[in-house]
Amino acid sequence: METTCKNHPDQPAKRKCYYCKQPICSQCQIQISHHIFCSQSCYRSYIIGKLSSSQAEQYLYFKLKNLLYLIWSKIEKTPGYLITFSLLAVGLIISVTLSIVSLNRVHKLQQTIDNLNNAAMLVDSTKSVAEIARDIDTLTIVSPPANAMIVRNKFDIEGQAEENRVVTLSANGKLIQTTLVERGNFSFKGVEAKPGDNYFTVRSISEDGSTIIIEEIKFKYGTPTRSFLARDFIRGNLNEKKIALTFDGDYLNNVTAEILDILKQENVKCTMFLTGRYIRRYADIVQRMVAEGHEVGNHSWSHPHLTTFEQDRQHQTLHNITEEVLQQELFKTAELFRQVTGKLMRPYWRAPYGEHNAEIRNWAANAGFRHIGWTVGRNWEDGMDTLDWVADKTATAYHSADEIAEKILSFADQDSYGANGAIILMHLGTQRNDDYPHQKLPFIIQQLKKRGYQIVTISELL
Domain membership flag for residue 6: no
Q: Could you tell me the pTM of the whole model?
A: 0.59
**Which whole-number Å values give the CA distances from 88 to 64, 71, 92, 96, 307, in the listed order?**
11, 9, 6, 12, 76
Cβ-proximal residues to 121 (8 Å cutoff; 6+ apart), any chain: 115, 211
Which run of H or E residues covers position 161?
none
Q: Same domain for 267 and 141? A: no
Question: Do the Cβ atoms of 333 and 279 come closer than 8 Å?
Answer: yes
Q: Is residue 147 predicted with pLDDT exceeding 60?
A: no
Q: Is residue 76 predicted with pLDDT exceeding 60?
A: no
Q: Is residue 108 predicted with pLDDT exceeding 70?
A: no
Q: For the ranges 93-102, 138-147, 266-275, 325-334, which has the lowest average pLDDT?
A: 138-147
Mean pLDDT of all residues in the chain?
81
Which run of H or E residues covers position 205?
strand 196-205
**Can you give the residue range of the structural domain that contains 43?**
27-108
Q: Same domain for 250 and 380? A: yes
Q: What is the structure's pLDDT at 11?
A: 79
**Which whole-number Å values give the CA distances from 417 to 76, 232, 421, 457, 459, in the listed order?**
46, 20, 9, 19, 21
Q: Same domain for 241 and 132? A: no
pLDDT digits (tens, 9 = 90+) for 42-61: 877 776 666 544 555 555 55
Spatial CA neighbour of 219 closest among 137, 160, 152: 152
Higher pLDDT, 132 or 400: 400
Q: What is the structure's pLDDT at 125?
A: 43
Alpha carbon 258 to its chain's center: 32
Q: What is the structure's pLDDT at 338?
A: 94
How does residue 104 score in pLDDT terms, banded at 50, 70 and 90? very low
pLDDT digits (tens, 9 = 90+) for 165-197: 888 999 988 899 888 888 888 889 889 888 888
Domain membership flag for residue 14: no
Domain membership flag for residue 452: yes
Q: What is the structure's pLDDT at 71?
A: 56
Q: Same domain for 121 and 62? A: no
pLDDT digits (tens, 9 = 90+) for 273-282: 999 999 999 9
Q: Is residue 64 predicted with pLDDT exceeding 60?
A: no
Starting at the earlier edge strand, list the strands of the sheet with 211-221.
174-180, 166-171, 196-205, 211-221
Q: What is the mean pLDDT of residues 147-158?
A: 68
Domain membership flag for residue 3: no
Phi, psi of 259 (to 5 degrees): -65, -45
Which run of H or E residues covers position 305?
none
Q: Same domain for 340 and 359? A: yes
Q: Same domain for 297 and 369? A: yes
Q: Which residues of 191-203 are buried (b: 16+ CB within 10 A; e: fewer)?
A: bebeeeebebbbb
Q: Is residue 220 predicted with pLDDT exceeding 90?
A: no
Q: Same domain for 367 and 340? A: yes
Q: What is the mean pLDDT of residues 454-459?
A: 97
Final residue belonging to a domain, choices 221, 245, 270: 221
What's the structural domain count of the chain? 3
How crowded is residue 352: how many other Cβ atoms within 10 Å of its Cβ? 20
Q: Same domain for 390 and 272? A: yes
